[in-house]
């Protein structure tokens, strides 16, 4: 995720801001930049694609930029590829405003068109430049009022740092649904997206709430609400050490990323839902092309492959087209049946997985059109595809994927709705029902996450198991596969996922007294069949943790030893909720076993060798 740090005080600011940015490097980024104000030089901006060290070397650690007020940014590309020009700060054409930004401005295109109609010329592809130019367009000599007007024109989830050359020694910080903190010192003050950025200089902080605006000077910080009424902020003393601070106070990146999922999904879906419709601006698929498809191939590895397993059910149901899901490492060697009427959907968090990349090239060579779903903007797979849809999960640091997986699922849901509407294979009532439940996922996930202590308790009961089985049917089976992979990759416990109906064909012989079976039974049409499977394994001595929806909790608790529930939701969207208890269970089991959770043995975050 992007990082923000701003400082105003009595010392030279650029070295302090570069130091703050270095503490945000762990979050992942692809470019950096700083804006410094000095009375004799005005507003100066320096940016560079790549590592912070590149920028720091160019500026001799910041010494080259005089001035006691500065703000800096580490960018994780969303709108526009990583490049010098797309890096932040973004500056208005006349150089009056510099803006750094985390998050997404959803209506940036309409504002950009409005400003272009008024003669404004843009140099970058970013939504952030739109904000810098809009501020300049609205500026009436009062920075605070101009920021307030700007906030009423934009939509999205964001935090901003703003400097105006006409109002020196004053920085403005704003947030809506993307964190921004204030740091209070003696003769200096900060804003930052993360306490790590300034924890070496002050531990006195307050947290901006949504729609609050902070005016930061060296003498103090004044916070206003969106109507410009002053707000008194409560201060907190942070006693975390640096490494805990990097993880936002969580013990591991994996847990932090699990907890970030509601926000990651919100960011991925909300800009793409406009006036009750899914709008995928970057895609241009005609009804004729889609209706003539002979097949959709989904190609991926690991957890991304498991997203494909879930996607098969929803795409086939809504589009009435055959969907084949292939492991990328198998696809290229299986002489696949691909024609120019085949659409290949390639899923990858990193966009660099070599198996997926080579399989994708093979699909293209055989005539398929390739649509990729990727998290890392500008990655090799994204660049080599015909079309790309980005998941906006932000950087994922833990090797075990969580929020990238969830946002991939969300993108598949958007795609299924969009294609089905284009093809005419969905009626309006069904479309509206799914879309409305899709938008409810982040809030429902917050409820699921509240059960984490209970799931930690179940983990404490079962962390010593030598083998754990996940059973489910239909979409629950696909989620069982992901739950099983999560568990084995970080806890090193042997685990398997089975389609529950397959048990009697061999697998059930593995069940003995005390074996833990996690039974996923949330898919209503097959709930009763799942209960029969739970009875089968229990009568062979298994202990069962059942996962179901609230409306089946009573029934499930009659059979399973323990239950976890998720809120009811349209069946197609169940995986988005069900996967989270599986992630938490794997996490707490691994924690009990003392494993290296963020960096499990023998594994790499991005697998770039075959
Ligand atoms: O970056 P990708 O999505 O292409 O990576 C694919 C797999 O390597 C990845 O999902 C892996 O299985 C994860 N470690 C699972 O948590």
Per-residue pLDDT tens for 343-378? 999 999 989 898 999 999 999 999 999 999 998 887
Q: How far apart are CA 15 and CA 232, in angstroms?
A: 31
Ligand 1 binding pocket includes 206 (Cβ within 6 Å): no
For the record, the structure tokens of 541 come out as 């001595």
Ligand 1, residue 404: give the atom nearest the CA. 3
Q: 564 CA distance to ligand 1 centroid (A)?
A: 26
Per DSSP, the three-state class of 71 is strand
Ligand 1 binding pocket includes 303 (Cβ within 6 Å): yes
Q: How far apart are CA 262 and CA 588, in angstroms?
A: 20
Could you tell me which residues come within 8 angstroms of residue 464 by beta carbon, excluding any fewer than 6 positions away? none
Q: 21 CA distance to ligand 1 centroid (A)?
A: 28
Q: What percent of the chain has pLDDT over 90?
A: 81
Q: 412 CA distance to ligand 1 centroid (A)?
A: 17
Torsion, CA 580, CA 586, CA 589, CA 591, rounded to 10: -90
Q: How far apart are CA 206 and CA 437, in angstroms?
A: 34
Alpha carbon nearest to ligand 1 atom 14, residue: 400
**Burial (CB count within 10 angstroms: exposed 0-12, middle 13-18, buried 19+), residue 456:** middle
Q: Which residues pair with 224 in a beta bridge?
A: 213, 230
Alpha carbon nearest to ligand 1 atom 12, residue: 302
pLDDT score, position 363: 97
Ligand 1, residue 408: give the atom nearest the CA. 3
Per DSSP, the three-state class of 293 is coil
Q: Nearest-CA neighbor of 311 among 411, 427, 401? A: 411
pLDDT score, position 395: 79
Alpha carbon nearest to ligand 1 atom 4, residue: 348
> Is the dihedral angle over the CA atoms 588, 591, 595, 596 positive or is it negative?
positive
According to DSSP, residue 323 is labeled E
Alpha carbon nearest to ligand 1 atom 11, residue: 302
pLDDT beneath 70: ranges in the chain = 1, 239, 241, 243-245, 609-610
Ligand 1, residue 303: give the atom nearest the CA. 10
Asked, as a colleague might, if the bond just before 588 is cis with ω within 30 of 0, I would say: no
Q: Nearest-CA neighbor of 584 among 466, 459, 496, 478? A: 459
Helix/strand/coil (H/E/C) assignment for every residue in 198-215: CCCCCCEEEECCCCEEEE
Using alpha carbons only, give the angle 256, 262, 267 rounded to the nearest 5 degrees: 110
Per-residue pLDDT tens for 9-22? 999 999 999 999 99
Q: How far apart are CA 78 and CA 164, in angstroms?
A: 25
Q: How far apart are CA 2 and CA 73, in angstroms?
A: 7
User: What residue ranges in 114-188 does DSSP mark as E strands?
Assistant: 156-164, 171-176, 181-184
pLDDT score, position 352: 87
The pTM of the full predicted model, rounded to 2 decimals, is 0.79
Contact between 486 and 495 under an 8 Å Cβ cutoff? The reply is no
Q: Which residues pair with 536 in a beta bridge?
A: none
Q: How far apart are CA 370 and CA 389, in angstroms?
A: 11
Ligand 1 binding pocket includes 348 (Cβ within 6 Å): yes
Q: How far apart are CA 20 and CA 17, in angstroms?
A: 5
Ligand 1 binding pocket includes 12 (Cβ within 6 Å): no
Ligand 1 binding pocket includes 491 (Cβ within 6 Å): no
pLDDT score, position 610: 65
Residue with tokens 């998290």: 375
Per-residue pLDDT tens for 204-260? 999 898 889 999 999 999 999 999 999 999 898 876 767 666 787 899 999 999 999
Best of 298, 353, 411 to mutate for ligand 1, by most ligand atoms within 8 A of CB?
A: 353
Q: Which residues pair with 277 in a beta bridge?
A: 274
Ligand 1, residue 605: give the atom nearest the CA. 14
Ligand 1, residue 350: give the atom nearest the CA. 1
pLDDT score, position 238: 78
Q: 356 CA distance to ligand 1 centroid (A)?
A: 10
Task: Tell me the catalytic residues.
Answer: 2, 605
Q: How far apart are CA 403 and CA 268, in angstroms?
A: 11
């Amino acid at each position: 995720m992007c990082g923000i740090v701003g400082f105003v005080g009595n010392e030279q600011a650029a070295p302090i801001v570069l130091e703050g940015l270095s503490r945000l490097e762990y979050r992942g980024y692809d470019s950096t930049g700083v804006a410094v104000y000095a009375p004799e030089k005005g507003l100066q901006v320096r940016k560079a694609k790549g590592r912070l060290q590149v920028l720091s070397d160019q500026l001799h650690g910041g010494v080259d930029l005089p001035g006691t007020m500065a703000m800096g940014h580490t960018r994780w590309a969303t709108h526009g590829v990583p490049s010098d020009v797309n890096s932040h700060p973004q500056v208005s054409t006349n150089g009056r405003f510099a803006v750094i930004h985390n998050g997404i401005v959803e209506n940036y295109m309409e504002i950009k068109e409005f400003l272009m109609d008024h003669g404004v010329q843009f140099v970058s592809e970013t939504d952030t430049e739109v904000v810098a130019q809009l501020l300049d367009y609205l500026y009436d000599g009062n920075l605070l009022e101009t920021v307030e007007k700007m906030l009423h024109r934009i939509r999205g989830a964001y935090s901003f740092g703003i400097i105006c050359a006409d109002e020196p020694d004053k920085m403005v910080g704003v947030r809506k649904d993307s964190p921004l903190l204030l740091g209070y010192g003696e003769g200096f003050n900060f804003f930052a997206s993360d306490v790590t950025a300034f924890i070496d200089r002050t531990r006195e902080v307050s947290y901006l709430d949504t729609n609050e605006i902070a005016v930061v000077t060296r003498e103090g910080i004044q916070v206003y609400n969106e109507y410009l009424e002053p707000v008194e902020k409560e201060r907190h003393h942070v006693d975390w050490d640096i490494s805990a601070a990097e993880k936002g106070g969580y013990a591991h990146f994996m847990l932090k990323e699990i907890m970030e999922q509601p926000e990651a999904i919100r960011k991925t879906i909300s800009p793409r839902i406009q006036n009750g419709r899914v709008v995928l601006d970057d895609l241009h698929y005609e009804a004729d092309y889609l209706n003539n498809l002979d097949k959709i191939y989904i190609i991926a590895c690991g957890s991304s492959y498991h997203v494909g397993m879930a996607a098969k059910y929803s795409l086939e149901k809504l589009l009435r087209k055959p969907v084949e899901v292939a492991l990328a490492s198998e696809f290229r060697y299986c002489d696949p049946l691909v024609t120019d009427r085949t659409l290949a959907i390639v899923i990858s968090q990193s966009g660099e997985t070599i198996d997926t990349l080579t399989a994708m090239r093979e699909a293209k060579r055989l005539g398929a059109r390739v649509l990729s779903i990727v998290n890392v903007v500008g990655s090799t797979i994204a660049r080599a595809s015909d079309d790309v849809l980005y998941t906006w999960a932000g950087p994922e640091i833990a090797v075990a994927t969580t929020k990238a997986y969830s946002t991939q699922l969300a993108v598949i849901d958007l795609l299924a709705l969009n294609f089905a509407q284009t093809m005419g294979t969905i009626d309006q009532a069904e479309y509206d029902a799914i879309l409305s439940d899709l938008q409810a996922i982040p809030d429902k996930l917050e409820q699921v996450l509240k059960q984490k202590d209970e799931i930690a308790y179940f983990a404490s009961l079962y962390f010593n198991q030598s083998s754990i089985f996940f059973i489910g049917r239909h979409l629950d089976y696909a989620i069982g596969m992901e739950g099983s992979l999560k568990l084995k990759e970080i806890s090193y416990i042997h685990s398997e996922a089975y389609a529950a109906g397959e048990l009697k064909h061999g697998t059930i012989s593995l069940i003995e007294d005390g074996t833990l079976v996690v039974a996923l039974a949330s898919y209503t049409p097959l709930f009763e069949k799942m209960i029969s499977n739970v009875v089968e394994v229990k009568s062979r001595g298994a202990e069962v943790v059942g996962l179901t929806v609230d409306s089946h909790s009573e029934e499930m608790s009659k059979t399973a030893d323990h239950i976890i529930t998720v809120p009811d939701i349209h069946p197609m969207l169940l995986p988005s909720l069900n996967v989270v208890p599986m992630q938490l269970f794997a996490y707490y089991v691994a924690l009990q076993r003392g494993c290296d959770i963020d960096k499990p043995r023998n594994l790499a975050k991005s697998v770039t060798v075959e």
